[in-house]
Amino acid sequence: LAKTTQPISMDSYEGQEVNITCSHNNIATNDYITWYQQFPSQGPRFIIQGYKTKVTNEVASLFIPADRKSSTLSLPRVSLSDTAVYYCLGGGSYIPTFGRGTSLIVHP
């Protein structure tokens, strides 16, 4: 099981780029990196997944270096509505475990 470590909380301001880094030193060769977003009073929402290098979609970008021991979720130009908890998961063939995630608060 790939154990992930991410900051408990982060603060940012509207319009800034936010980068949330997750470390997963023991990630297995076949494991993917997956990020979820959870807004208050809602269920988590899958936002992005990658294996290596860079993946981008309409919500975020995910950067995974060659050694895959860490990954960075990048949110461009955040707004107040990006205030949420962000979970980093590492794995693939086994049942995922959600940790505490990173609580991102975006200030006006």
Partner 1 sequence: DAGVIQSPRHEVTEMGQEVTLRCKPISGHNSLFWYRQTMMRGLELLIYFNNNVPIDDSGMPEDRFSAKMPNASFSTLKIQPSEPRDSAVYFCASSLVGQGLYEQYFGPGTRLTVT
Judged by CB under 8 A, which stretch of 5-13, 51-59, 63-71, 97-105 contacts partner 1?
Answer: 97-105
- Report the site for partner 1 in 8-47 (rule: CB under 8 A): 32, 34, 41-46
For partner 1 (CB under 8 A), the number of binding residues is: 22
With a CB cutoff of 8 Å and minimum separation 6, the contacts of 75 are 17, 18, 19, 20, 59, 60, 82, 104
Buried b (16+ CB within 10 A) or exposed e, 29-54: eebbbbbbbbeeeeebeebbebeeee
Q: Does 96 bind partner 1 (CB under 8 A)?
A: yes
Q: Does 6 bind partner 1 (CB under 8 A)?
A: no
Cβ proximity to partner 1, 13 vs 94, nearer residue: 94
Q: Which residues bind partner 1 (CB under 8 A)?
A: 32, 34, 41-46, 49, 87, 89, 91-101
